[in-house]
């Protein structure tokens, strides 16, 4: 399997292409707003809503709130993870539906207003799906690259909905339950660990998953 070279710009949603100071300030305000729900009695509902929205348009990953909630109640870490997974997969279905039936009407809005969306990135994801849609959906659901681009592109590319649901469940489940496990084992100390190393950990695991798929494909072709 030959993978196209990575585009020059990163797929990191935290640093949108040609982002002026204002969008960066907006992202910081959104980040703080997400964190503020950790002190609310409605934090669990907020986690579900943010996990749902992040799969199609919201720029802040739900891990931020999941970690904050788990610091306060480590014994509920797996409950928080379960909520995040279910809501995120449902949001992925909405993202797929946007790509499948509405993209020609809303693409300009997404490119101009949603951090992380550019035509170049979207076209690149479409080329990845020509290689192995299932694999790249798992990787996008698990690693820090923007999941929302992949869910919408899946609809545009007519990736079967069951494929999206299964891959999203695997990738998001692995990611959120990894966070939950670390929080359950280390409690408040885990927050500093995850704040510093979550992206590195998920990238390493993502590379291992990718290597595993490549190895399986090579073995089955011989």
Give this prediction's pTM: 0.77
Structure confidence by residue, pLDDT tens digits, 157-183: 999 999 999 999 999 999 999 889 988
Which two structure tokens, joined as six digits, stand for 5?
A: 């070279």
Count CB-CB contacts under 10 A for residue 47. 25
| Residue boundaries of the structural domains of the chain | 21-220
pLDDT given at position 157? 94
Hey, which bits of the chain come out as E strands?
A: none
First-residue to last-residue Cα distance in the chain: 14
**Chain mean position to CA 134:** 15
pLDDT of 106 > 70? The answer is yes
pLDDT given at position 77? 93
pLDDT band per the 50, 70, 90 thresholds, residue 4: low
Alpha carbon separation from 221 to 211, 215, 217 (Å, rounded): 15, 10, 6
Cβ proximity of 184 and 77 under 8 Å: yes
pLDDT given at position 14? 45
pLDDT band per the 50, 70, 90 thresholds, residue 44: very high
pLDDT given at position 185? 83
């Amino acid at each position: 399997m030959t993978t196209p070279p990575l585009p020059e710009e990163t797929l990191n949603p935290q640093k949108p292409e040609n982002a002026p100071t204002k969008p960066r300030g907006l992202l910081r305000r959104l980040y703080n707003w997400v964190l503020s729900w950790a002190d609310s009695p409605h934090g669990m509902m907020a986690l579900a809503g943010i996990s749902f929205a992040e799969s199609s348009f919201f720029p802040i990953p739900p891990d931020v709130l999941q970690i904050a909630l788990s610091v306060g109640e480590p014994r509920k870490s797996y409950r928080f993870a379960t909520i995040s997974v279910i809501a995120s997969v449902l949001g992925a279905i909405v993202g797929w539906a946007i790509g499948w039936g509405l993209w020609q009407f809303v693409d300009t809005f997404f490119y101009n207003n949603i951090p992380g969306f550019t035509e170049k990135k979207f076209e690149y994801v479409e080329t990845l799906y020509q290689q192995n849609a299932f694999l790249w959906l798992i990787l996008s659901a698990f690693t820090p690259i923007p999941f929302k681009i992949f869910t919408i592109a899946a609809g545009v590319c007519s990736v079967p909905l069951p494929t999206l649901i299964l891959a999203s469940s695997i990738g998001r489940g692995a990611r959120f339950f990894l966070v939950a496990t670390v929080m359950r084992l280390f409690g408040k100390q885990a927050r500093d660990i995850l704040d510093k190393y979550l992206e590195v950990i998920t990238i390493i695991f993502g590379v291992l998953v990718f290597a595993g798929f490549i190895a399986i494909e090579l073995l089955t072709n011989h």
